[in-house]
Amino acid sequence: MGNSQPLSSWADWLKPQRNRMIVLMILAAVAMVIPVVANNYLLEVLTNAWFYTILCLGLNIVVGYAGLLDLGYAAFFAVGAYTTGILTSKFGFNFWLTIPFAVGCSMLAGVIIGGPTLRLRSDYLAIVTLGFGEIVRIIARNLEITGGASGLIGIERPYFFGIQLNQGIHFYYVFLLLAIAACYVSYRLQHSRLGRAWQYVREDEDAAEAMGIDRVGVKLHAYVIGAMFGGIAGCFFAAKMTAISPETFTFAQSVLILLGVVLGGMGKIPGVIVGAFALVLFPEVFRGVGSMRMLIFAIVMLVIMLYRPEGIWPRVKS
């Protein structure tokens, strides 16, 4: 009896998940195999889509899980990219060694900006993050160490067990693996004690506080973990592009990432992935829209908020 208990509970656990697992396996297999058949253009687009998936999942922790509006998310992505860029190109660091620095710096930025503002009304946070995003971009444009308006060039591409990552296909796999890791971490966070605290704070802040949840503390956790995702994505972005400039990290970039989160359904991982892909694929499929892209995105965002505030693929509420 004692021995069969864990076995049957394992089977019970798998049963309702089985269909989902099969779908996930197939999707993962497709994602792994695609580069073999895809041409360079498709590969580039898909790499970009995985890249935005990581950013959107990071922002999703702040917006979707904790219910805070962050309008300067590109700043964390910038901090990560610039940390790696400066350390490799000016100080000759190995790329892999820069990752902990980049993560540290973006987390520090998260604490600096989140610490004081998370105590205040939630809409103050939105506008302060907006200002912060601008500050980071202006600083990057005016300092000497960040290369000024023209940015940093000649960031060395990393070696991985002796192979230099310099092909499109390499970076496809890098970003795919990072996206999978981001999904896993998001999933585990969502179902952790902290994840449930975020949900409680999001739904009813006062009740959560009355239950003994440290309101500011859990929000700051969400903020810093979100910043970390952005920082890591920024590191690899710098390595892939080998050149970064301040104009990559504008307000429009932050809004784009936010749109990916809102589009698919805030707080739901598959929804966010769908949102990120929609974000990248839409302008590729509809080439004609060109500069109207942001206008169309903004209208879509408004319509979603008015008629489907939970997004295309909303979270199922129990």
Partner 1 sequence: MSNLDIILQQLANGIILGSFYALVALGYTMVYGIIKLLNFAHGDLYMVGGFVGFVFLSALSGLLGTSWAAITFSMVLSMLAVGLLGVIIQRVAYQPMLNAPRLSILITALAVSMILANGVMAVTDGEYMAFTTDLGYDGLDFGNVFISYTQLVLVVSASVLMIVLTLFVHKTLYGKAMRAIAIDQDACRLMGINVNRVIALTFFIGSSLAAAAGVMAGVYYGSLHFSMGFVIGLKAFTAAVIGGIGSIPGAMLGGLVLGILEAFGTQIPFVGSEWRDVFSFGLLILLLIVKPTGMLGKTEIERM
Please identify, using beta-carbon distances, which residue of 14 and 138 lies nearer to partner 1. 138
CB of 262 to partner 1, least distance (A): 6
Judged by CB, which is closer to partner 1: 43, or 113?
113
Least spacing, CB of residue 111 vs partner 1, in Å:
13
Residue closer to partner 1 by CB (options 106, 117) is: 117
CB 33, CB 93: distance < 8 Å: no
Q: How far from chain centre, in Å, is Cα 196?
A: 20
Closest to partner 1 by CB, 50 or 65: 65
Nearest CA to 69 among 207, 302, 259? 259
Q: How far is the CB of 28 from partner 1 (least distance, A)?
A: 31
- How far apart CA 133 and CA 279 sit, in angstroms, is 21
**Token digits of residue 121:** 């009304």
Find the shortest distance in angstroms from Cβ 195 to partner 1: 17
Collapse the DSSP code of 241 into the 3-class scheme (helix H, G, I; strand E, B; otherwise coil) and give the result. helix
Q: Which is nearer to partner 1, 100 or 309 (CB)?
A: 309
The single-letter code of the amino acid at 102 is A
Helices (H), 68-121: 73-91, 95-117
Residue with tokens 């693996």: 177
CB of 74 to partner 1, least distance (A): 14
List interacting residues with partner 1 (CB under 8 A). 63, 67-69, 71, 113, 116-117, 120-124, 126-128, 130-132, 134-135, 138-139, 141-142, 204-206, 251, 255, 258, 262, 266, 291-292, 294-295, 297-299, 301-302, 305-306, 309
CB within 8 Å of 182: residues ≥ 6 apart: 53, 54, 57, 58, 229
